[in-house]
Amino acid sequence: MIEVNNLTKNYGSKTVVNDLSFTVNKGEVLGFLGPNGAGKSTTMRMVTGFISPSKGDATICGVSVVDNPKKAKSFIGYLPESAPLYDDMTVIDFLKFCAAMRDLRGAAAKEAIDYSIETCFLENVARQSIHTLSKGYRHRTCLAQALLHDPDVLILDEPTDGLDPNQKHEVRRLIARLGKTKAILFSTHILEEVEAACTRAVIIDQGVIVADGTPTGLKKQSGTDSLHDLFRNLTTKETE
C-alpha cells in the first residue's frame, strides 16, 4: 500500500535522503528508526507529498505522490511532527473543520468524528477549548484528525513525542490495533516502540537504510539480542 522507490532529497550540496526504497503492506506496522537528523521526517514529508523529492517517487495504494498528489493524499492519514492546532477551537469544532476539509458532510461527518473521538479517548475533553488541553490530549486530537476519513494508510511522525508513560502505552496499543487493517509507517527514536507496536522496522542513518527486518530478526542481528546495541552499532554517534 506504500511503495517508496529511490527517494532522494538534496538541499544544495547536502543529501538528506539518499536513494531510499521500501514497502509497507496492509496489515503491517513499519517502525522508521534513526538518530536525530537521519532523514526520517524528510522521508515522511516526501511520502505524504508535503515536499517534493529531488529524485524518485512514492506510491500510495498504487497512486504516485509525484504525478497525482491529490488522489494519493486521499488515502493517507498524516500526523506530522509538531502538528498544528487552532487553540481557539474546541476539540469537536476542530474535528468538524478537518472533516469538512476531507469533504465529509452530514451523517458521515458525525460518524467519523464520533469514531475518532472514541478511538483516541477524547470523550472527556471533546467540548473543551484546545488551548486548555494538556500536551497529551493535544497530541491525541492531532491523531484523531488523521483517522477521520478512515484512511487505508497512516503516516505518523513521532506519534508518542511528549506523552507520559501511560499515554505512550495507550498510543502504542492503538497503533498495533489499527495496523491489523491498515498500512502504518511511523517514525520514532524510541526503540521500545518497535517491540510494542511494530511488525517490522527499518533503521536509517545519514539518509540510507542500514537495517530492515522484524523486531526479532533485528535483535538477532545485534549478536547480543539487543535493539539498543544494534542501533548504536549501525548509526552515527553525535559525538563522532
Q: Which string of DSSP letters, residue by residue, matches 7-49? A: EEEEETTEEEEEEEEEEE-TT-EEEEE--TTSSHHHHHHHHTT
What is the pLDDT, as a whole number, of residue 125? 96
Distance (Å, rounded) from C-alpha 240 to C-alpha 237?
A: 5
Q: Which domain holds residue 208?
A: 1-75+151-240
Both 166 and 240 in one domain: the answer is: yes
Q: Residue 36: what pLDDT?
A: 86
Assessment of whether the complete model's pTM goes beyond 0.75 = yes
Residues 220 and 159 both lie in one domain: yes
Q: Domain count for the chain, please give it.
A: 2
77 CB-near residues (< 8 Å, 6+ apart) = 146, 147, 148, 149, 151, 153, 154, 155
Predicted confidence at residue 240, as pLDDT, reads 42
pLDDT score, position 134: 87
Q: Which of 93, 116, 150 is the last residue of a domain?
A: 150
pLDDT value, residue 237: 61
Domain co-membership, 68 together with 156: yes
Residues 186 and 119 in one domain: no
**Residue/partner pairs of 94-99 with CB below 8 Å, 24 or more apart:** 94/130, 94/141, 94/145, 95/141, 95/144, 95/145, 95/148, 98/145, 98/148, 99/148, 99/149
Query: Which residue in 85, 66, 59 sits closest to 146, CA to CA?
Result: 85
The DSSP output letter for 129 is: B
What distance in Å separates the CA atoms of residue 153 and residue 15, rounded to the nearest whole number? 27
Q: What is the pLDDT along the chain (240 residues), one digit of tens a residue?
A: 999 999 999 999 999 999 999 999 999 999 999 988 899 999 999 999 999 999 999 999 999 999 999 999 999 999 987 778 999 999 999 999 999 999 999 999 999 999 999 988 899 999 999 999 988 888 889 999 999 999 999 999 888 877 788 888 888 888 988 999 999 999 987 888 888 889 999 999 999 999 999 999 999 998 899 999 999 999 976 534
